[in-house]
Structure 1
Amino acid sequence: MNVKTRIWMLPALAAAIFAIGIVVVLVFSSKTSDSIRSVGQVDFPYLDATTQFAAQLEALGATIQSAVAEGEKKRLDEAKDRAASIRKLLAAISRIDGKAEVGSQLTKSFEAYYAASVETAELFLGMRQGDQAGAIPKMQSALKKLEGELATARVEASEGFDAGLERAHQGVSSSLWAIVISGVVVVLCLGGGSFLIIGGVWRQLGGEPEYARDVMRHMADGDLSQDIIVAPGAEQSLLAAVRDMSSGLAAIVANVRAGTDSMTVASREIAAGNQDLSVRTEKQAGSLEQTAGNMQTLTDTVRQSAEAAAQANQLAGSAASVAQRGGEVVSQVVSTMDEINTSSKKIADIIGVIDGIAFQTNILALNAAVEAARAGEQGRGFAVVAGEVRSLAQRSAEAAREIKGLIGASVDKVESGARLVQDAGSTMSEIVASVQRVSDIISEITAASAEQSQGIGQVNQSVMQLDQMTQQNAALVEEAAAAATSLEQQAQTLQSAVATFKLK
């Protein structure tokens, strides 16, 4: 049951009890009014009429006796007037509720007595002839009967009047008791109802409304540190719910405050980390740009090495042709030895160049592998290509060393060719084979240089893509740093908002 209904129950209960009391009082008042009305309209008029009738009857008898004793006939007219008054009293008695029969009987008895009295008086006054001695007993008999009936009527009237007064008194007393009892019942019911209703409302509120209002005002101001006191036995009340809400809200605010502190520290650390990452990413981007430049230089060097290898291949082909023709023109070997010696020296120089290029390629491939290792997961493919380039460079260096050794041997043979010209025919086939081998090696060097050039181009492209990705990462890191800074500002704002709450 809600508070509004309980509050309205109190005046409703009071109205119902007052209505019941009014009905009870009206019932007793109605009975009392009937009793008073009966006394005023029946009992008292009846008693008064019978009393007056007795007095008038006695006066009538005295008047008739006086007329007889004094011999005055005029006194009979006075008796006649008294008889008329008595008849009016008897008529009044007959008109009283429930007394018509008594009035009729008294009227008959009175008329009999009055006729006997007048007759007796007239006999004694000589106004009528008759038996005087017989008239007196007749008059006395009629008077006795009338007096008996009148006495009965007077007793009845007196008892009725007393009973009416008693009924009226009892009615008034009953009305007063009904009023008193109704008042007591009203007080008890209102007191009990008020106690129950106020107690129920108090248990629903859990305390004074002003106290609950002050508590809610403190909570609205952000003060959650107050101890809310709830009345005993009112754990399901409004104030208890406010207390539980304050405790829950304080716990939530404490958790939010701790979370905002942690978020502020974390966002500050994220911002610092992103700033460091941005600096490292910028440095990495610079290193990649430098690596891209080195790779471009390496590409140019490898291209030159490939061109030199092609020239060496052509020279080796020419040497093979010369060696083949040497078998036919052995006689011209001596004259061409100088040319072969010169060509061999030139080839030795070219091989030296190739060896130098291979050495530089190996160094650049090693640097590329180091840079790929720094790039981490994104430089894994670049590391593989750099390894292949290094392998090709090592193979080129090895081939160059072999060619250099062969060229050195060829030079020695050319120098001793003059002394061994007589054996030229027998060794020409060996020279042709050696030159053919040189030609094959030069072809391998040419192919390796082409593959090396292609690999370096792929490495260069990978480095350029890695450079582009690194620049994109740098931009993302800057955005992340800005977002972390914004998050830190928002965390500080939320921390300031939560700081308005006052906890225990």
Structure 2
Amino acid sequence: MGTEVGKFRISTILTAVLTLLVVLIGVSNLMALKGVRETAASVEAMSQATVEVTEVTEAFAATQRARVSISAAQSAAQIGQTAAAKNLTETVDARLAQGQARIEAFAKIPRSDPDDQALAQRIVETYNALNDCVRNEQKALAANDMATFNHISAIESIAASRAFNDEMDKFVKRATKRGHAAKEAANDTTSFLQIMIAVCLAVTVLVAVAARRALSRVVQKPLQVLGEHLDRVAQGDLTARIGEHGHNEIGMLASAAKRMQESLVGVIGTVLASTASVSTASKQIAAGNLDLSSRTEQQAASLQETAASMEELTSTVQQSASNAQHANDLAASASEAAGRGGAVVSEVVDTMKSINESSRKIVDIIGVIDGIAFQTNILALNAAVEAARAGEQGRGFAVVASEVRSLAQRSAAAAKEIKALIDDSVSRVDTGSALVARAGSTMSEIVESVGRVTGIMAEISAATHEQTEGIEQVNRAISQIDEATQQNAALVEQASAAAQSMQDQARLLERTVSVFHVAA
């Protein structure tokens, strides 16, 4: 049986069990629903019977109270209490209306049984007849027709009341019978439901017990065996073999455990083979780290010497940069002074040019004056000729012309002398202008040379500054290399410690793996 059950998958067994439980629950719920509906129908039937009886009895009671009020009104009228008789008559209408409302409500109740419907119709008819008799009594009393009143109340009303009571008794008995039948049906339904619930519960318990036994064979026992085997594996025993457990989920789990054990055996073998290699490699790494540590210390000492030399070189280059900067400042000052001298010479050249132009203008003016003196001399000569022609009358005019001619000649002589002086001055000014121009050209060359010297000094200063920065960068780089070398030395020490630790871990791993027992 266990082998047959083991062929089924756990999911199939669980699905079958759950399906059966769902079917049982569904059947029990359907039967419970049916019982609830039947019980509700029985309760509704009993409730309807109670309502019908209540409506009929209340209608009859209202009619009887109306008759009592009519009798009381008749008695009050006989003793002369008219007001009391009137009030009692008014209460009759209200009580008859109450009874009519009750009987109408009774008539509106739906009935499926034709006999019940026919009996209800007769009750309504007999009640209406009784109600008509009471109305006739009220009218006869209002008309003070005592003979008619006594006849109706003694004969017709009593007959109608008896007929209504007979029909009402029949209906009450029938309604009571229906109520008892509904109660018995409800009791039968309850008993049936109790039996079915007990049966479903028993079947459910049987299914649960069967499922428990099946799962114990399919799941519990194979898992227990597999757990014991895994405990042996956990203790390092890899020699035991895992048997077959069917083709269900437990069988797949056992197959996976078997593959895991085989893989673990391979891994343990590989680890055992690799542990010796790791130990040898860790020893070689430790020896190499010791050699590297020694060379790193030598490199650190060399870097410290290089750093000291670079610091001296940095100091020398910084001093050269300072001197170059000072020379650059002096060259800049000389360039500024030469520039100012060049500007002054340029101004002198401009001034000499202005003087030269003014001298040339004076020469031109003197030329004009010389021309005027020449023309004046000619005019004076002409005047003297005319005065000679005039004889005695022109003698005075001749004297004036002679004086004018003399003045013109002296003006011409003075103009020639001034022109000679101005020409000499212009010649000297030209010579001075040429010299000043040469001085300005020379000054410009000096300014240009000083500017080139200043540029060269600036380039020297910039180059020296760049050299200083480069040496500082080299110095920083050497410092960083020194720091990195120190860190490398520390790392080498850490690597040596790590190699030693790895060697210890390899030995520990070898001891740990030796716990496992692998089949030869």
TM-score normalised according to structure 2 size: 0.39
TM-score normalised according to structure 1 size: 0.40
